[in-house]
Amino acid sequence: MIEPEQNTGTSVRFEVHLFLCALVLALFLLLAIILFAIPWAKNLQLNLFINFLWLLAIYKLIFFFAHYYNKNFGFSLQDGTIDEEDYRNGDAPLTHAQMYALVTIFCIYIFELFFIEAWLHKLQLVWRPFWADAIINWMRDNADTLSNNNKWGIITIIVGSDNPLKRVFPDGDAFLRSSFSNAALFFSFFRLVTFPVIVACYYKVLGNMIDGLGMDAINPGKINPRELGNHKHVLWCFFLTIPLIFMFIGATLMCTLFPLALNVLSMISVNAWLERFGLYFTCPIFIIFAMKMMYGWRQYAKSHY
C-alpha cells in the first residue's frame, strides 16, 4: 500500500511525480529524434521500415516504463490505497489512468517525429499506400480556400500574408495543387484526429493540478449563492471567461481546421517542430481552462436558477 504524505495544502508530490515521469518520457522523445535522424539504409522505403521497427521498440520501452511506474507508485481510486481527498489536493502520485494518458501524449509526439524524419524525404512521402492516398484525397476534396468555398469543408487553406509559405504559394489553391500538399494534408489529418485525444489526455493528467493552481478561485461553479457580495466574484469570472473563450476557439481552430497556421509549418523539419512545440503544448492547457470555466458557469446556473 502506498503511504501518502501528509496533506500540506499543496500539490508538490503530484508535481514531482509528474515532472519525473515527463522527464523520462522526454528522454525517450530525444532518443527517437536521434534514431530517426540516422540513415539506416540508402533505400528510402527500407529506411522507413527500419525506423518503424525503432518506433515500435521505443513504444515498447515507454509502456514498460508505464507498467513499472504503475506497479510501484501508481494507484487506482477504486482500490482505496489513496484517499480521494489527498488525490484531489495533489498529495498523491499519478493514477494508472493518468500515467497511461501521459504516455499516450508522448506516443503521439514521437509518431509525429517518426513521420517528419523517416516518412518524409525532401517534404515528400516516401511511401504512399492506398489508404494514405484516400486520406489525402478526402482532405483535399474537403478543403476550403478563398476562391473555393465547399459547403461541407472540413479544413480551411488560407496562406496568410505573414505565413512563411506565402513566399512559395500565393494562395490556398496553389498550395493544394502542389506535391507538397500531399504530405501536408496527411499530417494535418493526423493532427485533426489526435488533437482531441491530446486534449482529453491533458485533462486527465492536469485537471486537478489546474484546479489547485488557481482555477478553483476563478471557477463560477464554486461561487456560494449565500455569500455576501458574491456579485463581484461573478463579474470577475465573467470578464475572465471572455478571453478564455477566444483562446479556446483560436487554439482549437489553429491546431485542427486551419492547418497552415501551425501544423504544416511544424512538419517542415524537426527544428520547425521543436520551435512550435511550445505553442502546440500550451494550446490544450488554454482549452482546459476554458472548458472548466464554461462548465463552472453551467454549475452556477444550476445552483442559482
Q: How far is CA 258 from CA 47, 159, 189, in A?
A: 32, 10, 11
| CA-based nearest residue to 208, from 17, 74, 11 | 11
Assess contact for 250 and 284: CB atoms under 8 A: no
Sequential pLDDT tens for the chain (305 residues): 344 444 443 444 788 999 999 999 999 999 999 999 999 999 999 999 999 999 999 999 999 999 999 998 887 766 666 767 767 767 788 999 999 999 999 999 999 999 999 999 999 999 999 999 999 999 999 999 887 766 667 899 988 888 999 999 999 999 999 999 999 999 999 999 999 999 999 999 998 888 877 777 777 777 666 665 577 777 888 888 899 999 999 999 999 999 999 999 999 999 999 999 999 999 999 999 999 888 888 877 777 66
Q: Which pLDDT value is given to residue 151?
A: 63
Classify the C-alpha dihedral 72-76-81-85 as positive or negative: positive
Q: Where are the domains of the chain?
A: 1-127, 130-305
Q: Say what the pLDDT of residue 206 is.
A: 92
Q: What is the pLDDT of residue 1?
A: 35
At residue 215, the pLDDT reads: 75
C-alpha distances in Å from residue 44, one per residue of 47, 92, 114, 178, 183: 5, 47, 13, 22, 16
